[in-house]
Structures are given as structure tokens and as C-alpha cells.
Amino acid sequence: MRVGISPTRTVTTDYRPARVTIAVLVCIPDQLGYYAHRLDVLKLCLASIVQHTDGPYDLLVFDNGSCPEVVKYLIGLRDEGIIQYLILSTQNIGKIGAFQILFRAAPGEIVAYCDDDIFFYPGWLPAHLRILEEFPSVGMVSGWAIRHTFEYGNKSCFRLSETNSNIKLERRRQIPDELEVDFAISTGRDPKQHLVSTAEMQDILLTFNSVSAFATANHFQFLSPKTVITQILPDIWSGRLMGQMAELDEAVDVAGYLRLSTVHRYVRHIGNVLSREFQEEAKLLGLEPSPPQIPKMASLLLRFATRPLVRSILKRLYGKLFWILSTSSVTGPVRRK
């Protein structure tokens, strides 16, 4: 039964999606431990997008089972019109699972993807688009080249340089060590060990029509034509919460598409805690992040943590708590019959 006629039946809209959809994947299941300051990181990520993006775009956010506080924050941005499209998942369906929904839902012909802990600098989007539009057969463009990623997923660039005399390929170390150190720190690696492990690696630079790009890309932040990335995504749902990202990189390369990065760094990985430098960046963007604090109990334990017996006990306790919390977050509380 229906009473009356829908008032929107004869109404039209002049809305058309922007050419570029900026797609952000969010996953902050709680605000404890590793995730204690992740909401501040997310706020800085989104603020940098809003403040430092030139040209029209639509912002699409997929929330992968975050806690109520994060969901409330995202809904507030949606209601303010900052987020144009917001997809809320009741549970964590895994990163590659979220990709399968996120990229297919993007309305634009170009998707600029990032994890929720990436900072964007002014001019990032034009720099990405210039590489995408200038080079042939581009599958991914990132705003930061990281040295160890030259080791895989770039066979297409060698084939193209061999068949196209207009493309110049050079091997030389060009990425400054301080950027490699910054990457190591933001991802929990030992900076000195990272520099040692990459000491013999060479950077690969492509130049075409006076435009240069590194022959690599990063799966934590990249721009891609929607027709390319949706073609590359796997059809099978693995159920894995993490992983399959290197396989995605390889799949882009195997399909014959280039994975490229801007020569200058236009994005930066924040990590799970705001450094003093990022706290200053946040203030410049009108945010007031809470400074990271070590709990009093943790401060006391740090005095004894170097002792072998204490360290052994703490590691065992951490292992048990990790599995208890991780299992309960996926399967829910265990109930006895």
C-alpha cells in the first residue's frame, strides 16, 4: 500500500562525481595500547587531505569495524559535508576485503587511496596526476619512493624502457638517507639496521617527456585509474585481516602496468603516535592532539624491563594478552555452554 507520491519523483540533481575520489581506509578497533593515539593520527591525516588538496575531489571513507568514538567522529565529518561518502562496516573484513568494496564504490574515474595514517603535503595531487597522464600504462602512482620496494613489482618498467626509446632508465642512489630513516622510525624499524640492509640497493629513475618518476609505488598510499585497480583486485575473499598487499603490487606489474612514485616526497607515513614534528603540523591545521604519555605502571616497569627474568615474564604476559584480545575482537566473547 502507498499513500501519495514520493516528493522526489520529479526532482533532478546537478551533482556529478569529481574525476578524483580520495579513498581512505580506517581501522581503529579501540583506543588502547597500540591504538591509544590513532584517532589523533586519523584526524591529522584527514585534515592534511582537506587543507592540501588542489582541485575538485570526492572524499570516500571506509571504516573497517572501528570503535564507537571513531565512528562518531567520521559521522560528524560526513554531516559537515567534509566526507561525501561514508561506508561503515560492523566488523573488520580485512584490508584486501575492504579494498574490494572501497575501490568499486568510488564514483571517480581515478582513485587516490591511502591508509588512515598518511600525511599529505601541498601540491601532492597535481604531482601524482602529472605522472599518471604523462607516462604510458600507469597502474599506480605514489607520493613517496622507499628504497627496498625497488626489489619487486617493476618488471614492466624494464620492458617499457627496452621497447620505447623515449623512456630513459637510470640506476643511481638519489633518495636521501634521512627519508629512509624517517620511514624506518615511522614503521617501527631500527633506522641503522634499515640503512645497512638497503646499503647496496640502487634507486631506479624513469624519465619520459621531461617528466621523471621512480620505478616503484607503495600500497599504503597510491593513485590509480579505477579501471586498473578494480581489474587487479582478487575475486576470492580470503578472510585474512592483513597481508596480500605485496601480491597486489605484483599483480599490477604482471598485468603490464607501471608502478611509479614522485621524485619529491609529497606524502609521509605518520605511525601510531604523533611525533613532536607532527604535533606542530597538527596545530598548524587547527588540531590540538593529546601528547603521548607513558602510563605510570609502564614507566615503573621500564626500569626493570632490561632484566632477563622481568623481560621474560612480560613477554609471556604480552603473548597471552595479545591472543586473548585478538581472538575476542574477531570471534566475540567466548561463552561456556
CATH code: domain of residue 106: 3.90.550.10
Q: Which residue has the higher pLDDT, 288 or 305?
A: 288
| pLDDT value for 334 | 43
**155 contacts: CB under 8 Å, gap ≥ 6:** 253, 254
247 and 308 together in one domain: no
90 and 146 together in one domain: yes
Q: Name the one residue in this structure whose C-alpha cell is 618498467.
A: 157
305 and 239 together in one domain: no
159 and 139 together in one domain: yes
Q: Is the pLDDT of residue 321 over 80?
A: no
Rounded to whole angstroms, the Cα distance separating 134 from 157 reads 14
Is 176 part of any domain?
A: yes
Q: Is the pLDDT of residue 183 over 80?
A: yes
What predicted TM-score, i.e. pTM, was given to this entire model?
0.84
* CB environment 141-154: b (16+ within 10 A), e (fewer): bbbbbbbebbeebb
Is 337 part of any domain?
A: no
Among 74-88, 151-165, 208-222, the range of highest mean pLDDT: 74-88
Burial (CB count <10 Å: 0-12, 13-18, 19+), residue 136: exposed
Q: Name the one residue in this structure whose C-alpha cell is 593529546.
A: 290
Q: Which residue has the higher pLDDT, 295 or 116?
A: 116
Is 57 part of any domain?
A: yes
What range defines the domain where residue 189 resides?
Answer: 20-284
Is 13 part of any domain?
A: no
Q: For the chain, how many structural domains are there in total?
A: 2
167 and 276 together in one domain: yes
188 and 276 together in one domain: yes
Is 148 part of any domain?
A: yes
Q: Name the one residue in this structure whose C-alpha cell is 614522485.
A: 262
| pLDDT value for 299 | 56
**Where does the pLDDT of residue 13 fall: very low under 50, low under 70, confident under 90, or very high at 90 and above?**
confident
| pLDDT value for 309 | 76
319 and 244 together in one domain: no
99 and 55 together in one domain: yes
Is 312 part of any domain?
A: yes
Average pLDDT value for residue range 56-66:
97
Backbone angles phi, psi at 4, to 5 degrees: 80, -175
221, 261 Cβ separation under 8 angstroms? no
Q: Is the pLDDT of residue 14 over 60?
A: yes
Rounded to whole angstroms, the Cα distance separating 324 from 27 reads 19
132 and 216 together in one domain: yes
66 and 103 together in one domain: yes
| pLDDT value for 335 | 43
pLDDT in tens, 86-112: 999 999 998 989 999 999 999 999 999
| pLDDT value for 117 | 96
Q: Is the pLDDT of residue 151 over 90?
A: no
